[in-house]
């Protein structure tokens, strides 16, 4: 009888966790679907200043590029002035390079080489 009680208790606790898991997955998908990205394929662009100029020519505004990738310790390097200074000297790197706005929406800027 005790084993059956433990099994029922475990099943009950497990069923309580499923809706929570489903809601977290749905929430994560919802958040990810709201973050627009722009992938830029660059050939003749060497510096982030040139990349910013190319983005502005395509109608992007508020272009902020960073010399480092985001990390858990620094999720928004584009907000740190020391990481965004001297874009004319900062090389463009593959992957995330910063953020920009277009039509009032913030987009993440990724470079494909």
Question: Which helix (H) or strand (E) segment is 13 a member of?
Answer: helix 2-33
Residue 34 has what pLDDT?
63
The token pair that represents 86 in the structure block: 């001297």
Reading the chain (113 residues) residue by residue, the pLDDT tens digits are 554 444 544 555 454 444 444 444 444 444 444 668 888 777 778 899 999 999 999 999 999 999 999 999 999 999 999 999 999 999 998 899 999 999 999 999 999 87
Residue 25 has what pLDDT?
43
As a whole number of Å, the CA-based R_g of the chain is: 22
CB-based contact 111:51 (threshold 8 Å)? yes
Phi, psi (rounded to 5 degrees) for 14: -65, -40
Residue 39 has what pLDDT?
85
Say what the alpha-carbon torsion angle 10, 11, 13, 16 is, to the nearest 10 degrees: 170
Query: What residue ranges do the domains of the chain occupy?
Result: 1-34, 36-112
């Amino acid at each position: 009888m005790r084993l059956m009680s433990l099994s029922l208790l475990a099943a009950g606790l497990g069923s309580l966790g499923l809706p929570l898991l489903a809601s977290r997955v749905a929430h994560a998908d919802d958040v990810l679907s709201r973050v627009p990205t722009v992938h830029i394929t660059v050939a003749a662009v060497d510096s982030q200043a040139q990349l910013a100029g190319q983005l502005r020519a395509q109608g992007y505004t508020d272009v902020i590029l960073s010399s480092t990738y985001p990390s858990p310790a620094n999720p928004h390097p584009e907000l740190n002035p020391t990481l965004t200074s001297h874009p004319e000297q900062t090389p463009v790197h593959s992957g995330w390079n910063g953020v920009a706005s277009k039509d009032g929406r913030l987009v993440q800027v990724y470079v494909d080489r």
